Amino acid sequence: MPAVWHALAVVLPRSAVAEASRSLLALGATGLMEDVPTGTALRFKQPWDTGRKPRPPATVMLRAWFRHRPEPKALAMALPGREVAWTEEPEQDWNEGWKVHFQPIHVSDRLVIAAPWHGVPNAVVIEPGNAFGTGEHRTTRSCLAEIDRLATPGGSCLDVGCGSGILALAAAHLGMRAYGMDIDEDAVEAARIAAAANGLLATFDARPIAEVEGSWDLVVANLYAEVIAALAVDLRRLARGHLVFAGILSDRAHLVEAAMSGLEQVHRDDGEGWTSLTYRVPA
């Protein structure tokens, strides 16, 4: 019979979590997790927010996992007056199980993004987890679709904030001269490794955008609207064909549109609260 974990959930005031955690560990819990109670709104401070960080919820759903359920009397003493809920969870191979969430991304007949274990012929292979960008998120898919639509063999592509390098690698796969840049040195290294693994010619570094010279047929940036707006002068300076933007929350798309005023918007995609925008730049 497969091994089973006994999972406990209890809602507590935040001030009681530390003591309850110690008690549950003493009863044999092998793992604990703080969660948000059902129906509780959770607010995060976004990079563009000013002011103080939002207060965390006053209550916490504390989860604990046991191989064997503790005695009811001992549990009642550990969590006096608390109502607990039990569920059973089968043992999982987490080293392999998480992979089922990553499926190949078929952008078109000529562009497919896949993980190493998919074994898809002629795909751009990205190792999930090395940096942001596996093609799963809508913003990345939007950029990939526009790269597929606009890429021309022998052209050039600049990927600003390249993360895993997926966009630059897609452009290189489609025959473009690709260059990706990111302020995160780990992301740059992950992108270089991915380029080598795919046998693609693409350059990656952490050079500030202000130091980048030349002009590019296609400039892509999957970044927050506020960041795109802040980099607008350099983005416009470096583009000579098309600018493709994603990573934009729909209620902030106006910031990018204002920053790109005077350019022809040739494509807009809205969905799931996100917006991507494409502009044509005179050569």
What integer pLDDT is reported at residue 92 of this predicted model? Answer: 75
Phi, psi of 54 (to 5 degrees): -60, 145
Judge residue 42's burial from the number of C-beta atoms within 10 Å of its C-beta, 0-12 exposed, 13-18 middle, 19 or more buried. Answer: exposed
What integer pLDDT is reported at residue 95 of this predicted model? Answer: 60
Residue 57's domain spans which residues?
4-91
Specify whether 34 is located in the same domain as 167: no
Specify whether 43 is located in the same domain as 147: no
Specify whether 62 is located in the same domain as 161: no
Domain end point (choices 91, 116, 135): 91
Domain end point (choices 91, 109, 128): 91
What integer pLDDT is reported at residue 86 of this predicted model? Answer: 97
**pLDDT, one tens digit for every residue, the chain (283 residues):** 458 999 999 999 999 999 999 999 999 999 999 999 988 877 777 776 777 888 888 999 999 999 999 999 999 999 999 999 999 998 876 666 556 667 888 999 999 999 888 889 999 998 876 444 555 688 999 999 999 999 999 999 999 999 989 999 999 999 999 999 999 999 999 999 999 999 999 999 999 999 999 999 999 999 999 999 999 999 999 999 999 999 999 999 999 999 999 999 999 999 989 999 999 998 7
Q: Please name the residue that has the structure tokens 């940036």.
A: 221
What integer pLDDT is reported at residue 129 of this predicted model? Answer: 61
Specify whether 263 is located in the same domain as 125: yes
What integer pLDDT is reported at residue 45 of this predicted model? Answer: 73
Nearest to 238 by CA among 217, 262, 256, 224: 217
Specify whether 119 is located in the same domain as 13: no
What integer pLDDT is reported at residue 93 of this predicted model? Answer: 67
What integer pLDDT is reported at residue 131 of this predicted model? Answer: 41
Specify whether 125 is located in the same domain as 206: yes
Phi, psi of 18 (to 5 degrees): -60, -45
Specify whether 80 is located in the same domain as 51: yes
